[in-house]
């Protein structure tokens, strides 16, 4: 059976000086020889199967051999001449560096005319505007799901194909999207580039910073449609809804008590073990949960991270902020 391997449209492997001095170039598939390399390439394109399984993850060019792909990648490596002074990351184009720098500076020059939300990249604004217009131009031909941007559409298609082309060089774990891999790599590096400008807490992913900031603002955009309780994250809402369904999937293997959240089960088990792993470095008092420790430490530091956006009053506990805001709501009703 004939071997299926050719030089494709992007296959221009770099020869050494010794290669260029050879009198003839032989086809590795049929052994036919040529006086010049370009004739060999034309021969392979016209007579042998067009198979290009090696893809450059930078520019998506395809190659028939891994060696040609490696040679091509050196072009990108040499081209990365623009360095970020803040984190040292390099870019092949100055325009890409300028976009990256905005992540450090917080600059967001692209603003939505409808809701005022600002973005650091114009493409992100374009995607955002489709939230208002409802436009979803990308259609999955397998399940008919629609998407507002091409990247979400591409990621979705990999659910059907099972394709995970992005691999972690440290642990080998594979991902369907490059941004998932980038987030994962920060587990190994410990990098936390997203910092809260209020309290200084740092996070490895932007979404975690956004959720954290709601602690300071008191924002709770997720509403329970059964009891009207509101939450700062969709995960908190999902956990809460188990109360209405009576769902308690987490069971204590010592006493049989069941819980709707795994964290509550973990805290409960410390009743049996007597374990209090969270200790105050000011007074030595120990707690079963980290949240209890954080609340307690504010009695020492005087920190009040919860701000009322109506009257600017500050609180050390989130529950106290919520109770305070209800006073404003009650006053608004009586006016």
222 lies in the same domain as 196: no
Q: Is residue 258 part of a domain?
A: yes
* Alpha-carbon distance values, 29 to 15, 46, 122 (Å): 19, 13, 48
Taking the C-alpha atoms of residue 251 and residue 266, their distance in angstroms, rounded to an integer, is 10
Contact 204, 183 (CB under 8 A): yes
Tell me: do 132 and 228 sit in the same domain: no
Confidence of residue 111 (pLDDT cuts 50, 70, 90): very high
Q: How confident is the model at residue 26 (pLDDT cuts 50, 70, 90)?
A: confident
Residues 6+ apart with CB under 8 A from 61: 10, 55, 72
**What pLDDT is stored for residue 60 in this prediction?**
61
Residues 132 and 70 in one domain: no
| pLDDT at 272 (0 to 100) | 92
In a domain, 9, yes or no: no
pLDDT digits (tens, 9 = 90+) for 211-221: 898 888 888 88
Question: Taking Cα atoms as reference points, which of 159, 157, 152, 165 lies closest to residue 141?
Answer: 157
Same-domain status, 54 and 153: no
Residues 149 and 194 in one domain: yes
The domain total for the chain is 3
Q: Do both 285 and 309 map to the same domain?
A: yes
Note whether residue 239 is domain-resident.
Answer: yes
Question: Residue 256's CB: how many other CB atoms inside 10 A?
Answer: 7
For residue 132, give the H/E element and its range. Answer: helix 122-133
Note whether 226 and 330 are same-domain residues. Answer: yes
Domain that holds residue 322: 215-334
> pLDDT at residue 229 above 80?
yes
Considering only residues 13 and 184, tell me which one the structure prediction assigns the higher pLDDT: 184
Do the domain assignments include residue 12? no
**Structure confidence at residue 53 (pLDDT):** 56
By percentage, how much of the chain surpasses pLDDT 90? 13
Q: Which of 137, 136, 130 is nearest to 112 (CA)?
A: 130
For residue 20, give the DSSP letter. H
Whole-number pLDDT of residue 235: 84
Q: Is residue 150 situated within a structural domain?
A: yes
Section 173-189 average pLDDT: 88
Chain centre to alpha carbon of residue 153: 16
**Torsion angles phi and psi, residue 287, rounded to 5:** -135, 155
User: Using an 8 Å Cβ cutoff, are 270 and 287 in contact?
Assistant: no
**CATH number assigned to the domain comprising residue 114:** 3.30.160.60
Residue 56's alpha-carbon distances to 62, 69, 168, in angstroms, are 6, 7, 16
132 & 189 share domain: yes
pLDDT at 255: 95
Taking only the tens place, the pLDDT of each residue in 112-130 is 998 899 998 888 898 889 8
56 with 98, same domain? no
Nearest to 51 by CA among 7, 2, 1: 7
Residue where one domain finishes, among candidates 57, 74, 91: 74
Residue 300's H or E segment, with its range, is helix 290-301
Average pLDDT, the chain: 81
Give the residue with greater pLDDT, 248 vs 48.
Answer: 248
68 and 89 fall within a common domain: no
The count of other CB atoms within 10 Å of the CB of residue 88 is 7
User: Of 74, 94, 114, which marks where a domain is finished?
Assistant: 74
**Which pLDDT value is given to residue 21?**
42
What per-residue confidence (pLDDT) applies to 76?
Answer: 67
> Predicted confidence band at 332 (pLDDT cuts at 50, 70, 90)?
confident
Q: Are residues 159 and 220 in the same domain?
A: no
The residue among 47, 46, 48, 69 whose CA lies nearest residue 59 is 69
How many whole angstroms separate alpha carbon 285 and alpha carbon 223? 36
Enumerate the β-bridge partners of residue 286: 279
Between residues 139 and 75, the one the model is more confident about: 139
Does a structural domain hold residue 10?
no
Report pLDDT for 300: 93
Q: What confidence tier does 94 reach under pLDDT thresholds 50, 70, 90?
A: confident
Return the pLDDT at 312.
Answer: 86
The residue from 74, 105, 121 where one domain ends is: 74
The larger pLDDT score, comparing residue 86 to residue 67, is at 86
Q: Residue 169: inside a domain, yes or no? A: yes
The residue with greater pLDDT, 30 or 296, is 296
Are 178 and 244 members of one domain? no
Domain annotation covers residue 251: yes
Above 80 in pLDDT, residue 2? Answer: no
pTM > 0.85:
no
């Amino acid at each position: 059976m004939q071997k299926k391997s050719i030089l494709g449209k992007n296959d221009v492997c770099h020869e050494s000086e010794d290669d260029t001095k050879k009198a003839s170039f032989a086809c590795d598939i049929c052994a036919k020889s040529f006086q010049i390399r370009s004739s060999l390439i034309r021969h392979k394109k016209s007579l042998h199967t067009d198979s290009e399984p090696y893809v450059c993850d930078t520019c998506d060019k395809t190659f028939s051999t891994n060696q040609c792909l490696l040679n091509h990648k050196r072009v990108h490596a040499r081209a990365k001449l623009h360095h970020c002074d803040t984190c040292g990351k390099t870019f092949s184009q100055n325009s890409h560096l300028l976009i990256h720098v905005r992540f450090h500076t917080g600059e967001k020059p692209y603003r939505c005319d409808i809701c005022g939300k600002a973005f650091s990249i114009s493409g992100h604004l374009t995607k955002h505007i489709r939230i208002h217009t409802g436009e979803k131009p990308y259609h999955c031909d397998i399940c008919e799901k629609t998407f507002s941007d091409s990247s979400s559409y591409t990621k979705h298609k990999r659910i059907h194909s099972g394709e995970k082309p992005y691999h972690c060089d440290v642990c080998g774990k594979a991902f369907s999207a490059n941004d998932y891999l980038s987030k994962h790599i920060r587990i190994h590096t410990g990098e936390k580039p997203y910092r809260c400008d209020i309290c200084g807490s740092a996070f490895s992913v932007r979404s975690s910073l956004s959720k954290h900031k709601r602690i300071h603002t008191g924002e709770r955009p997720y509403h329970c449609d059964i009891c009207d309780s509101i939450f700062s994250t969709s995960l908190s809402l999902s956990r809460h809804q188990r109360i209405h369904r009576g769902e308690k999937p987490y069971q204590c293997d010592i006493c049989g008590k069941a819980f709707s959240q795994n964290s509550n089960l973990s805290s409960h088990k410390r009743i049996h073990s007597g374990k209090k792993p969270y200790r105050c470095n000011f007074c030595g008092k120990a707690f079963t949960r980290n949240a209890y420790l954080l609340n307690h430490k504010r009695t020492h530091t005087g920190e009040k991270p919860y701000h009322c956006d109506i009257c600017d009053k500050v609180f050390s506990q989130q529950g106290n902020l919520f109770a305070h805001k209800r006073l404003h709501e009650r006053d608004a009703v009586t006016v």
